[in-house]
Structure 1
Amino acid sequence: MSTTARLAVLTVGAEESTAMANQAAPTGEIHEVGIADIFFSTTDRRGVIEHANDLFVSFSRFERVELIGSPHAMMRHPDMPGAVFHEMWAALLAGRPFAGHVTNLAADGSTYSVYATVTPLSTGGFLSVRIRPMDEAQAAMARDLYRDLLAFETGLRAVGVTRRAAAERGAAKFTELLSVAGFPSLTALQQHTLPREVARFERRSDPLPHRPDATGEVAELLATVTEVDAVLSSSSLQQRHLATLSTSLQRVGSQLQRELEATSRNIGQITALAGSSTAPPDLFEPLTIWAQMQGLIQSYTVDLIAVLRRLDENSAEHRFRVALAKLHTRMMASFVIERIDAPDRQKTQTTAILLLAESLRLGLTEMNEHAVAHRALTAETVAAITKSASVLAIPRELLVNWNQQLAGIELSPEMQRLAHDVTESITLLGETLAELQGVVSLCGRIGAESDAEELLELVARIDPVRAPRH
């Protein structure tokens, strides 16, 4: 984190502590977020609320005049570990979106839980869209992580560590706990959970609303937002296919590594036994050639697996961005419907729509960059597979011929077993490279077309409704 960002985090932390000091005590009452409920708010760079939709106001149990101009941290539940917000602010101030499970404390001491997304705006502020947590398994994992984190931070506070220092040390603990849970980073966790939460939200919510009687500018606006949602849905389908292929890439890449290691191990054992064998010495020359090429083959395989990992990471980030754009589009549609149904509040609704459009533009620009990177990584992966297959071709052919020479030669039972294992490994290597080539080619076809440019053109149509922001 840069020095400027660190100072900003410290400043925000001080304001949040003040806001939390004036909270009501938790009562234990829980009010659940509805399946189709969607919250919207924006804050300035310090986390002070500037805009909020009616649903957010209702769930907060504050009056709107109390919310606007107050720190968002006034709703932070004491059961939430500081490390989560430390990581959130670190991400936001570095220009990255944040997504995660959050428990909020309402003005009357009641509790409600959301899956929250927060996105930086070009103004320096932040836009947040929140929904009901839809994936109970992920929500339960978050609760377990937060419980352990809170216990860790509470222990630090008990020995005199400040709240901010405990949150910072808790962030390191958070990374450790995530690793145990199978996630190399908080980013990886977000890339895993957000697409699942949004997909479930859409499946359980009603389709985007229609207003066939609407005319003029608002009718065109609703049509544009609906078209954006349709293009994103198509992209979401592609991303689900890529997620499935990602699993295949990881499996086949690891399989290739295992088979190479098994082949080399078996050949090494055969070579060690060759001295005591009655077979002709030249019978073992192909194994010597393989052993000599082992270092080169291994380096190519390591490079290939590294490229596969980068391709997978890029695809995961792209899926995250598509899911975030879907959520923002759904929120935008809600405000467009409000403009049609309650034109007396047009100024408030228009401001929210423009902020969401801006966030969409920023996210779609990132998506476009990921699509370009995806194409480059796919080409690099194909080249790495071709190179690996090429360097394996000659020693594989030698080993295949070697296996044929074994017919009619008397070998010890152990040598026969090892020879059989080597033959099997050779066959599997060829099959694995062919499968890997097929999976990567399919990845390339699915990810070859980017919808981001088309979406940017659609979002640009929203500009004519631009209104002054106050």
Structure 2
Amino acid sequence: MSGPTSHRTNVHEVGIEDVFFSTTDRRGIIEHANRLFVTFSRFPREALVGSPHNIIRHPDMPSGVFSVMWTELLAGRPFAGHVDNLAADGSTYSVYATVTPLSNGGFLSVRIRPMDSSHSSAARDLYQTLNSFEDELRRAGLGRRGVAARSAQRLGELLAAAGYDSYAAFQRQTLPGEIAKFERRSETLPTRPEASGDLAVMLSTTNQVDRALSSWSMQQRHLATLSESLQRVGTELQRDLDATSKTIDRITEITATVQAPPSLLEPLRIWAQMQGLIQGYIVELIRALQELDENSAENRFRVALAKLHTRMMASFVVELIDADTVSSASMQADAIALLSQTLHSGLIEMAEHSRAHRELTARTVTSIEKSASVLTIPRKLLLSWQAQSAATQLSPAMRQLAGEVTASITKVGSTLEELNRIIKLCDTIGDGDDPATLLQLITQIEDAIRPFAEASS
């Protein structure tokens, strides 16, 4: 559909408590839309259901973003990001959107108000840059698909320049932050004391799921702290490796040309020879740190997505309790069934990530211990050499080398302290609650909703 010339002159703001829901088939045709989606889209429900979801696509949204979204979804991975939508009356509303693949090949989307202004601002800047890039491609005669593909590639380059190795890495950072701020500013999950039977079970169990995920989320925040430490140490270790390589080159050069007592040169030669072994351990450790960091970030992303789906499910359960006719309850029952299935699948994946996290943590701790142990030997050697060189008359070249070695000792010492601190963190931080308990709760919801879903089909 076509919109007005200026698409931002009429903006209607999404409220803090507003949560959008929709599902589509594998082609993107809308099958379900909650009342809020209908209200904000300004389309009648009959016009939305059966139409492509891009009926609300905003012309200011870069095609590269949707290209990335479809790449993620078709690979079976969820997508999350900032999206501007265009309503039927030409007005704009902005959401933070999540889209999750369904087992039937379709997709489920839950959207909220963007809560983190820094994330929104970063997304806005990215989109403006991409729009300008896409305009250039169109003027150059590139077709629609070519523009989308090149724009997606450009998005990856822009994110890489900002420190993200993929869009998945970018969304792993933004979604947990958005959900955390959303929950802090939103009301608690709704209750209906008067509910009875399966409906009461569903609402009570949904609240239990939310509380369990909140506990898990708190554990993930501790993991985020660990993740920051891992990133910092990994960067420091890589920097130390680079500096050490230069020092080794200087040692090789000086020990070959400078006349000095063998007792002064031999420790340096031994230290230089040890660096091959040490670097092997450090490279292995850096790789383990990166894998653990990525796994921790993915866990936080999955927990945040599950919390959003749980909140959406609670809203539908309350609507089902409040429904006055069977027909008005049909969509809620179907939506609850889809959300519970999505949560079930997500929890199975989270269980796999938790298992991988435990294995990665054990491997990382072992790698840290090995690296710390092997670093202790050259540190003692260098400390001994430093004491000896301080009492010796040194040439200018040797004095310069002594300074470089002293700097290396300092770096090794601080790295050892940081490594030991991380070992303690790894020992005290778990990977969250047991997903099996949550899976049992989700199964109870699936059993409770089944009669309602069957009645509506």
User: Structure 2 regions of 5+ residues with no counterpart?
Assistant: none
2:173 and 2:120 map into 1 onto residues whose CA distance is: 13
Question: Deviations for 1:119-173, whole angstroms, at most 9, x for unmatched residues?
Answer: 0000111000000111111111111111121222222222332212211121111
Q: 1:280 aligns with which of 256, 261, 264?
A: 261
1:294 and 1:214 map into 2 onto residues whose CA distance is: 69
Q: Confirm or deny: 8 A CA contact 2:14 2:94 kept in the other structure.
A: yes
Aligned residue runs from structure 1 range 402-417, under 5 A: 402-412=385-395, 415-416=398-399
How many residues get paired?
449
Aligned residue runs from structure 1 range 26-65, under 5 A: 28-65=9-46
Structure 1 stretch displaced more, 60-69 or 266-275: 266-275
Please name the residue that 1:3 is paired with. none
Please name the residue that 2:93 is paired with. 112
SS in 2 for 1:73: helix
1:457 Cα deviation from its structure 2 partner: 1.2
Question: Could you say if the C-alpha distance between residues 261 and 23 of structure 1 is closer, same or farther in structure 2, counting changes exceeding 3 Å?
Answer: closer
Question: Deviations for 1:385-411, whole angstroms, at most 9, x for unmatched residues?
Answer: 222233333333322222333353222
Aligned residue runs from structure 1 range 238-387, under 5 A: 238-263=219-244, 265-266=246-247, 268-269=249-250, 272-274=253-255, 279-344=260-325, 345-387=328-370
Question: Deviations for 1:321-379, whole angstroms, at most 9, x for unmatched residues?
Answer: 01100100110111111122224233321111111111111111111111111111111
1:265 and 1:24 map into 2 onto residues whose CA distance is: 60
1:208 and 1:253 map into 2 onto residues whose CA distance is: 40
Find out whether 1:419 has 2:394 as its counterpart: no
1:263 and 1:154 map into 2 onto residues whose CA distance is: 47
Question: Could you say if the C-alpha distance between residues 139 and 283 of structure 1 is closer, same or farther in structure 2, counting changes exceeding 3 Å?
Answer: same
Structure 1 stretch displaced more, 430-439 or 237-246: 430-439
User: Structure 1 regions of 5+ residues with no counterpart?
Assistant: 1-21
Aligned residue runs from structure 1 range 52-201, under 5 A: 52-201=33-182
Which TM-score applies when normalising by structure 2?
0.92
Structure 1 stretch displaced more, 371-380 or 431-440: 431-440
SS in 2 for 1:42: strand
Find out whether 1:456 has 2:436 as its counterpart: no
Q: Confirm or deny: 8 A CA contact 2:201 2:445 kept in the other structure.
A: no
Q: Confirm or deny: 8 A CA contact 2:217 2:304 kept in the other structure.
A: yes
Q: Confirm or deny: 8 A CA contact 2:251 2:272 kept in the other structure.
A: no
Q: Confirm or deny: 8 A CA contact 1:400 1:426 kept in the other structure.
A: yes
SS in 2 for 1:409: coil
Question: Could you say if the C-alpha distance between residues 295 and 93 of structure 1 is closer, same or farther in structure 2, counting changes exceeding 3 Å?
Answer: same
2:131 and 2:257 map into 1 onto residues whose CA distance is: 64
SS in 1 for 2:224: helix
Which TM-score applies when normalising by structure 1?
0.90
Q: Confirm or deny: 8 A CA contact 2:267 2:381 kept in the other structure.
A: yes
SS in 2 for 1:36: coil
Q: Confirm or deny: 8 A CA contact 2:212 2:433 kept in the other structure.
A: no
Q: Confirm or deny: 8 A CA contact 1:43 1:51 kept in the other structure.
A: yes
1:450 and 1:321 map into 2 onto residues whose CA distance is: 13
Q: Confirm or deny: 8 A CA contact 1:371 1:450 kept in the other structure.
A: no
1:269 and 1:89 map into 2 onto residues whose CA distance is: 52
Question: Could you say if the C-alpha distance between residues 343 and 447 of structure 1 is closer, same or farther in structure 2, counting changes exceeding 3 Å?
Answer: farther
Question: Could you say if the C-alpha distance between residues 109 and 264 of structure 1 is closer, same or farther in structure 2, counting changes exceeding 3 Å?
Answer: closer
2:414 and 2:163 map into 1 onto residues whose CA distance is: 29
Q: Confirm or deny: 8 A CA contact 1:25 1:109 kept in the other structure.
A: yes
SS in 2 for 1:297: helix
Question: Could you say if the C-alpha distance between residues 85 and 440 of structure 1 is closer, same or farther in structure 2, counting changes exceeding 3 Å?
Answer: farther
1:278 and 1:408 map into 2 onto residues whose CA distance is: 17
Question: Could you say if the C-alpha distance between residues 81 and 444 of structure 1 is closer, same or farther in structure 2, counting changes exceeding 3 Å?
Answer: farther
Please name the residue that 1:396 is paired with. 379
Q: Confirm or deny: 8 A CA contact 1:238 1:447 kept in the other structure.
A: yes
Q: Confirm or deny: 8 A CA contact 2:23 2:108 kept in the other structure.
A: yes
SS in 2 for 1:291: helix
Question: Could you say if the C-alpha distance between residues 390 and 181 of structure 1 is closer, same or farther in structure 2, counting changes exceeding 3 Å?
Answer: closer
Find out whether 1:223 has 2:204 as its counterpart: yes
Q: Confirm or deny: 8 A CA contact 1:385 1:433 kept in the other structure.
A: no
Alignment identity in percent? 61
2:151 and 2:235 map into 1 onto residues whose CA distance is: 33
Find out whether 1:233 has 2:214 as its counterpart: yes
1:374 and 1:89 map into 2 onto residues whose CA distance is: 28
Q: 2:421 aligns with which of 435, 438, 458?
A: 438
2:39 and 2:257 map into 1 onto residues whose CA distance is: 84
2:357 is matched by which residue type in structure 1? Answer: H
Question: Deviations for 1:61-102, whole angstroms, at most 9, x for unmatched residues?
Answer: 011111111111111011111111111111111111001111
1:295 Cα deviation from its structure 2 partner: 1.7
Q: Confirm or deny: 8 A CA contact 2:97 2:111 kept in the other structure.
A: yes
Structure 1 stretch displaced more, 337-346 or 327-336: 337-346
